[in-house]
Amino acid sequence: MSIGPPTGMRDWLPQDALLRQRLMETIGKVYRLYGYLPIDTPAMEDLAVLLGKGGGENEKLLFKILKRGEKLAQADGELADYGLRFDLTVPLARFVASHQGKLPKVFRRYHIAPVWRADRPQKGRFREFYQCDIDVVGGAALDYEVEVITATERVLKELNLGKYWFRISDKRLLPLFLHGFEVPRAKIDPIAILFDKLDKIPPMQFDDELSVLLPKDSVAWNELHVLIHKASPYVHHEILLRSNTSYYKECFAKVKDALIRDQIEEVCANLDSILQSVRDINSNSRIIFHPLMVRGMDYYTGPVYEAVMDKGPKTSILGGGRYDDLIGMFAGKKIPAVGCSLGFERILAILQERESGTVVTVTNQVLLVNEGATAVLLQQQAEQLRNEGFCIETNLDTDDVGRQFKHAEEAGMRWAIRRFDAAASTITVRDLSKRQDFTMPLSEFKARLAGSYP
Amino acid sequence: MSIGPPTGMRDWLPQDALLRQRLMETIGKVYRLYGYLPIDTPAMEDLAVLLGKGGGENEKLLFKILKRGEKLAQADGELADYGLRFDLTVPLARFVASHQGKLPKVFRRYHIAPVWRADRPQKGRFREFYQCDIDVVGGAALDYEVEVITATERVLKELNLGKYWFRISDKRLLPLFLHGFEVPRAKIDPIAILFDKLDKIPPMQFDDELSVLLPKDSVAWNELHVLIHKASPYVHHEILLRSNTSYYKECFAKVKDALIRDQIEEVCANLDSILQSVRDINSNSRIIFHPLMVRGMDYYTGPVYEAVMDKGPKTSILGGGRYDDLIGMFAGKKIPAVGCSLGFERILAILQERESGTVVTVTNQVLLVNEGATAVLLQQQAEQLRNEGFCIETNLDTDDVGRQFKHAEEAGMRWAIRRFDAAASTITVRDLSKRQDFTMPLSEFKARLAGSYP
């Protein structure tokens, strides 16, 4: 029998579980500043709900729940009745339909929860993983895009992830542009999908793949390459931080069909309005217009955005946009919605990498050393320290002091309390990393620990 | 198509989701004070792991995961390969076996997570529900029982649940007692199971059911009734708060078989040691010895305990004990363990009842009223307030002020900010419950909100 977790799934040891918890708490705390509140839904949904959008790719990735008892015995054909959720968007649509009367007209929610996909496991891709979505349901104004972006940039700042680029475009823009240069309708989607890989594959390979879809040195080919050059990541981005869509004005102006040009202008006006507002509200915003950015999701209907780290792999750390046709699908009416999905696992991996090597700071547990006191006396002292807010672990076995220090170090602790004088409110602690003892007022020790978690 | 959650499962609207989150955070915070750290495991486990203990009852309640693709096509007989966990104990045993080398010799962990059981849904019983377990793995000394109980009583105090009784006994005690009065071996288990219902059914019904197992007015019958009388809930409990097992000394002394009497004495000596230590460490402990208390779980091997509320239904709000034969089952060796499982859903229901009617205090979101400012200006002000730590919701639509107040009230907010003077650091707020406006320094408003969540 295998004693590991199921394929593609993970056990969480305390250090990682704490880090994950801290990440969830930080994200929640920031979104609550903006009036977003948590919701939750069951891990499983009716199969009909999950396959409501036609199934397709998702059906293949579903973990289905076997029917039970009588229902299984009588089952012909479909053996399952439920499935585990594969995202948090379908459950949100179901939730909104189910609780329509109880939700505010503009419903801001966040949802941080695991989802399951029976995908082929690979590095960084799991069969059980967390998603973290915020959405405004019922808000049609562009101001909601602005709010979602502003809140999300505050999350990134609070997490202190490092330098990132927050790219925005509009789902309709690249197709309009291609259409404007007479690219056949059937090629537009494949080209858009290829652009999703722009950052991830070498330029030569990109051109090779593009040449299958588009004649080399056709007008469209050339104009796309002008755009590619102007948007070239990490060359012109600092300029883009201060630019809006007019940076690409000349490219768009080359579209001959006036109707298409008008449509492009309208889309650009919307984006400029978002760019301007986001920057007016947050002068440190790292938002840039990136006309070639394509979010893979079919269901977006307007502005879309993503963020990528300046350093490291170019997988996005978040993505989102407006999707006005999806949330109403179970409620039977059109409900505008705009949201953002943080790449929870990706962000966690970045934090894990950063913290590795400094494991000691992850816990603020302190060992109260047992140097021969009775268990009761030791626990009485421990209780006094806990009343002061210290996280105290005691050794209730008869290990010698050296062994106690060793265990504490292995568990990621930095400090061991050797003597606590409650009357004088002083403490003698050993810095396990320096193997040195210090005596200090309790308040000073408290201040030293204050920076650490939790 | 049904748009509700699956049978016996729940959607969590923001108020309840926040309350649940606060409960989890409070429990975690207290247990971390004692050196317990969080872990997590996947929602699903190999069927072989879940059925490892022989299956039985649990097998019937399992939500099984249908095999996929090729594996399903080739399946003969067993159609499922995984199952959703039905508790957190089997996953812990698997976790301990899987990570043996990486865990400290004495491993303190807590785990708060959902489990799934395809039980018949009924009031207060769900098919998806949270469990909250703490356990010390690898600790054989009675001091670990003391620690688990002390930590758990601190959780109850922190949650401010109200008056409760923390009952302790030993899994072996009632059987020994019955054995001592020559009750046939085959009757002992059924009688123990009946005693689990002592508090929950009327005395006459209890006697009727007991009379099927034990002749009325036999010695055993009479001695059990002496115990029942002495332990009679809510009559003698205040005395029991200051007593130990000697309170029942005369009853136990009537056992004739010296060997059994010795065994009873040994069990009682252990319990007295725990009672004494718990009270020495926490003078407000509400622990009492309750010889008739029986925890249903087969796997306990020594001391067992539970807590019940003084008022309201007599279902226990937590249960636990020592179980030295279970955790090692996948590791292939004996590993002592002692733990406690909080009745998370039961406790949440108590908190929900208490908070109903005072919903307003559940959120500390504040509306920043839109009285005609541009969206950007409004958001700039909101950002300044968020920088101060306020959770600010703004109205980005063109609702009139009255409607904004109404939405805010419906969403459980108490305050609406009408004017914020950043230079003077003053604020004009409307108390929505009193329909009155007040002007005050920002710091004063902050202090007023400080009591509320989050």
From residue B37, alpha-carbon distances to A166, A345, A382 in Å are 35, 21, 17
pLDDT digits (tens, 9 = 90+) for A373-383: 888 999 999 99
A160: alpha, beta or left? (left if phi > 0; alpha if psi -120 to 50): left
Lowest mean pLDDT among A25-29, A431-435, B89-93: A431-435
Which of B304, B300, B296 is CA-nearest to residue B327? B300
Residue B441 CB contacts under 8 Å (≥ 6 apart), including other chains: B425, B426, B427
Using an 8 Å Cβ cutoff, are B366 and B417 in contact? Answer: yes
Q: Mutate which of B20, B68, B116, B376 to disrupt the A interface (most A C-beta within 10 Å)? A: B376
Which amino acid does the sequence have at A197?
K
Check if the beta carbon of residue B98 is closer than 8 Å to that of residue B307. no
pLDDT in tens, B372-403: 888 899 999 999 999 999 999 998 888 899 99
Give percent above pLDDT 70 in chain B.
95
Residue B23 C-alpha, separation from nearest chain A C-alpha, in angstroms = 13
- How close, in Å, is residue B25 to chain A by CA atoms? 9
> Is B379's CB within 8 Å of A143's CB?
yes
- The nearest CA of chain B is from the CA of A102 a distance in Å of 9
Of residues A40, A46, A281, nearest to B12 (C-beta): A40
Bridge partners of residue A168, in order along the sequence: A289, A305
Flag whether pLDDT at B237 surpasses 80. Answer: no
Which residues of chain B have a CB within 8 Å of the CB of A380? 280-281
Instruction: Name the minimum distance, in Å, from the CA of B276 to any CA of chain A.
Output: 9
Q: Which residues are within 8 A (CB) of A439 and not within 5 positions of it... i.e. 6 or more apart?
A: A419, A426, A427, A428, A429
Share of chain A above pLDDT 90, in %: 71
- Interchain contact A177–B (C-beta under 8 A): no
CB A110 within 8 A of CB A31: yes
Mean pLDDT of chain A: 90
Of B386, B449, B442, the C-alpha closest to A33 is B386
Tokens (6 digits) for B377: 């200006």
pTM: 0.93
**Mean pLDDT computed over B42-56:** 83
- Cα torsion A447, A448, A453, A454: sign: negative
Q: Does B71 touch chain A (CB under 8 A)?
A: no
Q: How far apart are CA A242 and CA A252, in angstroms?
A: 19
| pLDDT bracket for residue B361 (50, 70, 90) | very low
Q: In B, which residues are within 8 Å of A102 by CB distance? A: 13
pLDDT band at B56 (very low <50, low <70, confident <90, very high): low
pLDDT tens per residue across span A43-55: 999 999 998 765 5
Question: What ipTM was predicted for this assembly?
Answer: 0.92
Give one DSSP letter per residue of A144-181, joined into a string: HHHHHHHHHHHHHHHHT---EEEEEEETTHHHHHHHHT
Q: Residues B285-298: pLDDT tens digits?
A: 999 999 988 877 67
Residue A10 has pLDDT above 90, yes or no: yes
Helix (H, G, I), strand (E, B) or coil at B417: strand
**Tens of pLDDT, residues A382-440:** 999 999 999 999 988 888 999 999 989 888 888 999 999 999 999 999 999 899 999 99
Q: Is A82 on the interface with B (CB under 8 A)?
A: yes
Instruction: Give per-residue pLDDT as tens, A97-130.
Output: 999 988 999 999 999 999 999 998 888 789 999 9
B447/B341 Cα distance (integer angstroms): 36
User: Whose CA is closest to A362, among A10, A20, A7?
Assistant: A20
Contact A329, A187 (CB under 8 A): no
Chain B residues with CB-CB distance to A379 below 8 A: 143, 146-147, 150, 277, 281
Beta-carbon-side half-sphere exposure of residue B222 (alpha carbons within 13 Å): 5
Residues of B in contact with A10 (CB under 8 A): 42
A193 part of contact set with chain B, CB < 8 Å: no
CB of B35 within 8 Å of any CB in chain A?
yes
Cβ count within 10 A of residue B126 = 20
Q: Are A338 and A317 in contact (CB under 8 A)?
A: no
Contacts of A48 in chain B (CB under 8 A): 1-2
- Cβ of B452 under 8 Å from any chain A Cβ? no
Measured between beta carbons, which residues in chain B are less than 8 angstroms from residue A105? 397, 407
Could you tell me the two tokens for B431? 């108390």
Top mean-pLDDT range of A111-115, A220-224, B246-250: A111-115
In B332-433, the DSSP E strands lie at 337-342, 365-368, 391-394, 415-421, 426-431
Interchain CB contact of B439 with A (< 8 Å): no
A290 touches chain B (CB under 8 A): no
Euclidean distance between the first and final Cα of chain B, in Å?
A: 37
When computed from its CA atoms, the radius of gyration of chain A, rounded to whole angstroms, is 27
Q: Could you give the CA distance from residue A247 to residue B279 in angstroms, rounded to a whole number?
A: 74
Q: Which two tokens stand for residue B71?
A: 């594996």
Residue of B nearest to A331 (CA): B3
Pair B395, B367: CB distance under 8 Å: yes
| Contacts A–B by Cβ distance under 8 A | 274
Question: What's the pLDDT band for A1 if we cut at 50, 70, 90?
Answer: confident
Of A6, A277, A410, the CB nearest to B104: A410
- Measure B213 CA to nearest chain A CA, in Å: 33
Distance between first and last Cα of chain A: 37
Distance from CA of B291 to the nearest CA of A (A): 24
Residue B240: strand, helix, or coil: helix
Q: Does A166 touch chain B (CB under 8 A)?
A: no
* Token reading at A286: 């790292």
For B106, which of A103, A150, A397 is closest by C-beta distance?
A397
For position A322, what pLDDT does the model report?
Answer: 96
**Chain B neighbors of A154, CB-CB under 8 A:** 386
Residues of chain A with Cβ-Cβ distance to B43 below 8 Å are 43, 84, 114, 116, 128
